[in-house]
């Protein structure tokens, strides 16, 4: 297979949410795994709803996720090129003007439905004569332009869904250009895919029907269509549409909640596939494991709790270098490898490390129960001499065990409470040297 060229084509009308990220990620993993190229196309033909601000945020989100693109361009800068393609289709008699208003079309649809027929456009506009058209235009009407489907079956072997067949006689001729001359998504997408030599169109399954028409436009304008892969949609854990919660599931929100980019990518790369969902620390690993054949056909259920758990697992094993900048931003004292290694397993997100800074380096409120007071006061005398190290805790507690006869919970719990003020927390063996000899003795009273 020649190296694939794919594109991710978001519309900058809002923030990237997990559904979009999954499409971007699958395109990225597939192309990178095959030594191919990932292009970012900004689908901003809808000039009213698209904003530069959304575009900037979208690029920032993709960059944060690590999904770098080899090239990017905006559809809004290419209207002249789409005009040329439209002219070409007109010259082939594949693009025709139609003058029905939205209300008229609605009436036609209702009539068809009441007669038990599918609500497919009746192609009345094809019967208009030049004189009819001139009259309609003289009355102030402007045409919208429809692509003339062949009426035959369009077939392709979808990389996710398997053999697909769409009977184009059961679909309305799609409108490519609106009355005001603006383009709907269908034509610009095909024109750009041809020009960028896109080899694989990978997108959500909500585009399957579009593919029937788009394949015919590909054939008309470029002679052949790219491979197609339509991903099942993501749904919520309860099976509901995710679109209702788009805001809270945006990349920005997840990031603010302390979810790592690699947690999002590890989760979304495997969701709905035959692979287990496990944390991966690089996109390269995910790319090596990617295959369209692993993607199931059922909607994939996205559960935030699973994502949170995966994030915690990733944080528990995160090397210091990866967390360092963020730790330093929390507190200069947290910019310390031994500290991170001691506390990371008690963190569900990197920012949780902040909860342990004061306990270790600051003023922990020692908690000493009356019945343990004597034991705690005497414990300092058994502390191993010199600088405290990773083995000091076991040496110390062994000595205390021998000296006092205490063991298990009655030995460890009072010490932890006296030294940290908490019942649970990071391993004392790692915490002890961080607290340091002077503070340990001070906290023992």
Residues that bind ligand GLU (CB under 6 A): 9-11, 43, 185, 189, 201, 203, 207
Nearer to ligand GLU, 37 or 203 (CB): 203
Minimal distance in Å, beta carbon 262 to ligand GLU?
24
Nearer to ligand GLU, 187 or 314 (CB): 187
Which of 108-133 are b and which e, b meaning 16 or more Cβ less than 10 Å from the residue's Cβ?
bbeeeeeeeeeebbbeebeebeeeee
Task: Label residue 258 exposed, middle or buried (CB < 10 Å: 0-12, 13-18, 19+).
Answer: middle
Minimal distance in Å, beta carbon 204 to ligand GLU?
7
Minimal distance in Å, beta carbon 43 to ligand GLU?
4
Q: CA-CA distance, 423 to 436, in Å (whole number)?
A: 20
Nearer to ligand GLU, 160 or 400 (CB): 160
Minimal distance in Å, beta carbon 184 to ligand GLU?
11
Nearer to ligand GLU, 231 or 235 (CB): 231
Q: How far apart are the first and last CA of the chain?
A: 72
Coil/strand/helix, residue 187: helix
Backbone phi, then psi, for 281, in 5-degree steps? -95, -10
DSSP string, 97-108: EE---HHHHHHH
Closest CA to 269 of 232, 295, 299: 295
Minimal distance in Å, beta carbon 424 to ligand GLU?
46
Q: CA-CA distance, 288 to 29, in Å (whole number)?
A: 8
Coil/strand/helix, residue 88: helix
- ∠ Cα 219 10 173 (to 5°): 40
Nearer to ligand GLU, 207 or 401 (CB): 207
Nearer to ligand GLU, 231 or 400 (CB): 231
Q: CA-CA distance, 114 to 104, in Å (whole number)?
A: 15
Minimal distance in Å, beta carbon 24 to ligand GLU?
10
Minimal distance in Å, beta carbon 8 to ligand GLU?
7
Minimal distance in Å, beta carbon 13 to ligand GLU?
9
Minimal distance in Å, beta carbon 152 to ligand GLU?
23
Tokens representing 420 are: 């940290």
- Report strand pairing: 144-147 vs 95-98: antiparallel
Residue 298's Cβ-side half-sphere holds a number of Cα atoms within 13 Å equal to 8
Nearer to ligand GLU, 168 or 189 (CB): 189
Confirm if 196 and 5 have CB atoms less than 8 A apart.
Answer: yes
Nearer to ligand GLU, 23 or 266 (CB): 23
Q: CA-CA distance, 346 to 355, in Å (whole number)?
A: 10
Confirm if 343 and 426 have CB atoms less than 8 A apart.
Answer: yes
Nearer to ligand GLU, 10 or 414 (CB): 10
């Amino acid at each position: 297979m020649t190296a694939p060229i794919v594109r991710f084509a978001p519309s900058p009308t809002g923030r990237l949410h997990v559904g979009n990220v999954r499409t971007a990620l699958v395109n990225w993993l597939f192309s990178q795994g095959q030594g191919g190229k990932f292009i970012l196309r900004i689908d901003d033909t809808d000039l009213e709803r698209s904003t530069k601000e959304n575009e900037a945020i979208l690029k920032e989100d993709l960059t944060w996720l690590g999904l770098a693109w080899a090239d990017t361009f905006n559809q809004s800068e290419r209207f002249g090129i789409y005009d040329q393609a439209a002219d070409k289709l007109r010259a082939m008699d594949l693009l025709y003007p139609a003058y029905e208003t939205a209300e008229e079309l609605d009436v036609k649809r209702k009539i068809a439905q009441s007669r038990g027929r599918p609500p497919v456009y009746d192609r009345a506009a094809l019967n208009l004569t030049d004189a009819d058209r001139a009259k309609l235009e003289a009355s102030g009407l402007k045409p919208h332009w429809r692509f003339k489907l062949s009426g035959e079956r369009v077939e392709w072997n979808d990389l996710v869904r398997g053999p697909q067949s769409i009977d184009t006689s059961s679909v309305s001729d799609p409108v490519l250009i609106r009355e005001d001359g603006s383009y709907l998504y269908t034509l610009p997408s095909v024109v750009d895919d041809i020009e960028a030599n896109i080899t694989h169109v990978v997108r959500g399954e909500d585009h399957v029907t579009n593919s029937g028409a788009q394949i015919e436009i590909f054939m008309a304008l470029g002679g052949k269509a790219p491979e197609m892969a339509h991903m099942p949609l993501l749904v919520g854990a309860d099976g509901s549409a995710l679109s209702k919660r788009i805001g809270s599931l945006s990349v920005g929100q997840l990031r603010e909640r302390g979810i790592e980019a690699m947690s999002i990518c590890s989760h979304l790369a495997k969701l709905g596939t035959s692979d287990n969902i496990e944390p991966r620390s690089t996109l390269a690993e995910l790319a090596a494991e990617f295959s369209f054949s692993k993607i199931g056909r059922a909607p994939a259920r996205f559960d935030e709790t699973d994502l949170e758990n995966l994030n915690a697992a990733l944080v528990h094993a995160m090397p210091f270098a990866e967390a360092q900048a963020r730790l330093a931003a929390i507190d200069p004292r947290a910019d310390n490898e031994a500290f991170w290694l001691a506390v990371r397993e008690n963190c569900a997100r990197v920012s949780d490390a902040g909860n342990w800074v004061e306990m270790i380096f600051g003023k922990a409120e020692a908690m000493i129960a009356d019945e343990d007071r004597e034991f705690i006061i005497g414990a300092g005398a058994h502390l191993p001499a010199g600088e405290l190290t990773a083995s000091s805790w076991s040496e110390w507690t062994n000595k205390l065990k021998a000296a006092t006869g205490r063991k298990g919970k009655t030995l460890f719990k009072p010490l932890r409470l006296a030294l940290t003020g908490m019942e649970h927390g990071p391993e004392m063996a790692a915490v002890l040297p961080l607290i340091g000899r002077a503070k340990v003795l001070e906290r023992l009273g």
